[in-house]
């Protein structure tokens, strides 16, 4: 009987050790599973964080691109406006300078035209008259090239923007306010009056 009992105890010891070993292994497996779950969770978290970070970067870059595009468009529009404004200013400056120069020659043109209107008819003066006419033609060609225009006045209604009245006279042949006669022609360059026409006006 004692031998049998001893044998049973001997058999029980390995089983208890096995159970403890199994329990330890089970705890280890569970611990490994927990660690693996934690790792997966961390990986998912990192992946999600990376996705969010990339989305934020994309949004930020899109916003910056839109700002750059908007700034470029504004700069382009401002440059186009600056270019147009500069071109207009240059044109006005050119017209103003040309007008100032041409104004000095209007008196010369008047003198040449008066000389031609009083040119002698004798044959001895034909060459002289022809020379004066050629000078007048060259001067007129210069005026035409610069865009100088004669201000219409004969038979027109008096306009203080283009005409300067030297007198207001009674006239049975003209309505009140109509121009009777031109004492000195007027000229304009574009919309700018170089010299108003000096006129007599009916009243």
User: Is 115 inside any structural domain?
Assistant: no
- Report the CATH number that the domain containing residue 195 is assigned in CATH: 2.30.22.10
* pLDDT at position 121: 81
Domain that residue 167 falls in: 147-203
Number of Cβ atoms within 10 Å of the Cβ of 101: 10
Contact (Cβ atoms closer than 8 angstroms) between residue 203 and residue 169: yes
Strand partners, 169: 202
Does pLDDT of 119 surpass 90?
A: no
User: Is 167 inside any structural domain?
Assistant: yes
Nearest to 111 by CA among 121, 119, 101: 119
pLDDT digits (tens, 9 = 90+) for 33-59: 666 666 666 666 666 666 668 888 888
What is the band of 188 on the pLDDT scale with cuts at 50, 70, 90? Answer: very high
User: Is 202 inside any structural domain?
Assistant: yes
Identify the DSSP state of 120. Answer: -
Instruction: Note whether 158 and 90 are same-domain residues.
Output: no
* pLDDT at position 37: 65
* pLDDT at position 54: 81
pLDDT digits (tens, 9 = 90+) for 65-108: 888 888 899 999 999 999 999 998 998 888 888 888 999 999 99
User: Is 73 inside any structural domain?
Assistant: yes
Q: Which of 71, 90, 105 is the last residue of a domain?
A: 105
Number of domains in the chain: 2
Instruction: Note whether 7 and 99 are same-domain residues.
Output: yes
Q: How far is CA 26 from the centre of its chain?
A: 79
Instruction: Note whether 9 and 81 are same-domain residues.
Output: yes
pTM over 0.85: no
What gap in Å lies between CA 67 and CA 162, rounded to an integer?
Answer: 53
Instruction: Note whether 99 and 21 are same-domain residues.
Output: yes
Does pLDDT of 203 surpass 80?
A: yes
Instruction: Note whether 162 and 94 are same-domain residues.
Output: no
């Amino acid at each position: 009987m004692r031998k049998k009992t001893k044998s049973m105890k001997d058999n029980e010891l390995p089983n208890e050790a096995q159970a403890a070993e199994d329990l330890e292994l089970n705890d280890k497996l569970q611990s490994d599973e927990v660690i693996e779950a934690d790792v997966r969770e961390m990986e998912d978290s990192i992946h999600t964080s990376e996705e969010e970070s990339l989305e934020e970067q994309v949004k930020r870059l899109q916003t910056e691109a839109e700002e750059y595009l908007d700034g470029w468009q504004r700069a382009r529009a401002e440059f186009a406006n600056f270019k147009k404004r500069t071109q207009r200013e240059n044109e006005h400056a050119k017209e103003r300078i040309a007008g100032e120069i041409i104004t000095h020659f209007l008196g010369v043109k008047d003198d040449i035209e008066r000389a031609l209107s009083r040119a002698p008819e004798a044959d001895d003066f034909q060459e002289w008259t022809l020379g004066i006419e050629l000078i007048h033609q060259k001067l007129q060609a210069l005026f035409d090239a610069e865009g100088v225009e004669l201000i219409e006045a004969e038979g027109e209604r008096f306009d203080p923007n283009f005409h300067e009245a030297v007198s207001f006279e009674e006239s049975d042949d003209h309505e009140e306010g109509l121009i009777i006669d031109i004492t000195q022609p007027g000229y304009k360059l574009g919309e700018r009056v170089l010299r108003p026409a000096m006129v007599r006006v009916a009243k």
